[in-house]
Amino acid sequence: MNEPYYPEQDEHQIPLGVKYETKPLWAEIELTFGVGATGAAVVIAAFEASFTGLSVSYSRNRNYYGRHRHRLLKYEAVCQAVDRLAAAGWIHHYKQAPGNRGWQSAFEATPELIDTMQNIMAGEPRLKLARLPQTTILRDENGKPLDYNRTRQIDRQDRKTEGFNEAISAAEINHAEPSNVVGLPTLACPLARIHNKNFGRGGRFYAMGASWQNIKSEARRALTIDGEPAVELDFDGMHIAMLYAEAGLPLPQDCHDISGWPRKLVKVATFTLINATTEKAARMSIAHSEHLGELAEPGSQDAIGKARALIEAIKNRHAPIAGQLHSDAGARLMRKDSDIAEAVMAELILRRGIVALPIHDSFLVPASKRDELQEAMMEAAHKIMGVYLSVSEAGSK
């Protein structure tokens, strides 16, 4: 059986959402593509995703459609619109068979859709970003949305998220190179906070549409925020640092340095171990990692053996916290790192008026605000964890 699939958490696809107020385009899109308001949302999502190189995921399971979905995204309307656009050759459709758990259907824009939308957008002003119907989302172990009772804490959390979204929506977040697309795409996007199974797990901030989170780290270095080059800072080994902090121990110097193993592979494998529910799941994930490619063919028996040896090396390197590895600690730690992210954005966005864009344990700000970001990150970590975590420019380690 495949691992549970969380639509808003797949970095290789963009979940279908209504990022823009598409009403100004309804008439022309219906005339051109033969679809209504929901179809317009699908067309815009496919068009914008094409600039990130990613496909758009959506569900053909009625149970995935709950109150957190935009009013245009109803089960029947979405499926009919996607099927109609696919039949007309406007999108490439990757439809999953019923009962194929763990994966969702997806679609991509064809060159014809891209060219047509380029022409349509050339005669339109930039579309306004839509407001999310819900900024706190709770999902079960299979990614199905769950209803929950409102609390004062959730109300306070939502007010903060809405404040973040107001500032981000007003910002110009673009690639450094000028785009020849009139009106689209902007990488500004509203955030929602997504929890897994209960409010003590997960809680990370996800941009609900094509955004700075959907592009590769190398491309993020070319972003501008309100016309100024951006800088990205991240916490060094955040989750493993959290585990050492919980144990009351200092983090070893260069915790991803293990003799005989590529540092990048160790870093990825350690993160996998922290988030896995079983050692077998961690071993198979590491064995199929592209980062293992220089040592063995990913997925081969040799790769599985290498993964097993690497896991033992990591456990020996981090013996004091080895009992927390492959124990499903990741979701619990994500709740803490999401609280840190909220504290960072509250300080920068709400108190200082600085646009800060989260990528889970890293953040983008205008380059001139680098020092303010570093200070806010370290103070937020100390507030939540009781320790100062080290911060560096993304990709420098």
- What pLDDT shows up at residue 195? 93
Please name every residue paired with 204 in a beta bridge, in sequence order, or none if there are none.
194
Residue 24 burial class via C-beta count within 10 angstroms: exposed 0-12, middle 13-18, buried 19 and up: middle
Residue 103 in domain: yes
CB 41 within 8 A of CB 49: no
Residue 39 in domain: yes
CA distance 208 to 8: 7
Find the Cα–Cα–Cα–Cα dihedral 253, 256, 260, 263, rounded to 10°. Answer: -130
Residue 155 structural domain: 7-215
What are the tokens at 335? 């709740």
Q: Give the residue ranges of DSSP H helices in 279-397.
A: 279-287, 301-317, 329-345, 370-385
- What pLDDT shows up at residue 293? 78
What are the tokens at 283? 């071993």
Residue 74 in domain: yes
The DSSP call for residue 349 is I
Residue 382 Cα distances to 87, 242, 245, 352, 375, angstroms: 55, 11, 11, 19, 11
CA distance 213 to 221: 12
Structural domains counted in the chain: 1
- What pLDDT shows up at residue 275? 87
Residue 286 in domain: no
Predicted TM-score (pTM) of this structure: 0.86
Task: State the CB neighbour count (10 A cutoff) for residue 349.
Answer: 23
What are the tokens at 347? 């300080």
Residue 371 in domain: no
Residue 242 in domain: no
- What pLDDT shows up at residue 143? 78
CB 73 within 8 A of CB 38: yes
Task: State the CB neighbour count (10 A cutoff) for residue 296.
Answer: 16
Of the candidates 355, 397, 395, which has an alpha carbon nearest to the alpha carbon of residue 373? 355
Q: DSSP string of 59-93?
A: ---GGG--TTS-TT--HHHHHHHHHHHHHTTSEEE
Residue 115 Cα distances to 85, 90, 110, 391, angstroms: 15, 11, 9, 43
Task: Identify the residue whose tokens are 């050339």.
Answer: 122
- What pLDDT shows up at residue 6? 34
Residue 347 in domain: no
pLDDT tens for the 397 residues of the chain, in order: 233 333 334 457 899 999 999 999 999 999 999 999 999 999 999 999 998 889 999 999 888 887 778 899 999 999 999 999 999 999 999 988 665 555 689 999 999 999 999 999 887 677 889 999 899 999 888 778 888 999 999 999 999 999 999 999 999 998 766 555 555 668 999 999 999 999 999 999 999 989 999 888 888 988 999 999 999 999 888 889 889 988 888 888 888 889 999 988 998 999 899 989 899 999 999 999 888 878 889 889 999 999 999 999 999 999 999 999 998 888 889 999 999 999 999 999 999 999 999 998 899 999 999 999 999 999 999 999 888 888 888 866 5
Residue 377 in domain: no
